[in-house]
Amino acid sequence: MTGYAITIECPADKATLDVLNKGLDVFNAQFSPGSYDYLTVSLRDGDTIKGGISAISWAGMLFIKWFWIDEALRGQGHGTRIIAAAEEEGRRRGCRAVWLDTFEFQARPLYEKLGYSLFGTLDYPEGFKRYFMQKAL
């Protein structure tokens, strides 16, 4: 195995990430739909983003990667509206379900109120739980 070097990049180089992403996409396309689409749903005050969702739709599933709302705006229904908008866009894209993960100190009660159910738990990071949740669309 001579001639190959293992390198670590901190922070990761965008070009390296692009090569890894493309390679994985090409491999996965042999077995599943090859295309995926990103989407964001944002809560704005003028030009200022006060919250939102970053998600990916792929193979009939919507994955909510990030969800955040400015602390001063929590508990006012904005999160419910943002999630509903993301789910509706997922349906429009043909997604039949949505999944996400959340830490125990985050929004699990909100997700449960909105119909999400638990399908997995990790003890991670140390001293906390990470919950994996899903919902049919």
The residue extents of the domains of the chain are: 37-136
Which pLDDT belongs to residue 35? 75
Q: Does position 103 have pLDDT exceeding 90, yes or no?
A: yes
Cis peptide before 33 (omega within 30 of 0): no
Q: What are 35-74's pLDDT values in tens digits?
A: 789 999 999 999 999 999 999 999 999 999 999 999 999 9
Which pLDDT belongs to residue 115? 98
Q: How many CB atoms within 10 Å of residue 43? A: 19
Number of H helices, E strands in the chain: 3, 6
Which pLDDT belongs to residue 34? 66
Q: In terms of residues, how long is the chain?
A: 137
Alpha carbon 104 to chain centroid distance? Answer: 16
C-beta of residue 31 within 8 angstroms of C-beta of residue 67? no
Radius of gyration over every alpha carbon of the chain, rounded to an integer in angstroms: 18
Read off the pLDDT of each residue in 11-28 and give the average, rounded to a whole number: 90
The pTM of this model reads 0.84
36 vs 78 pLDDT, higher one: 78
Task: Say which CATH topology domain 37-136 has.
Answer: Aminopeptidase (3.40.630)
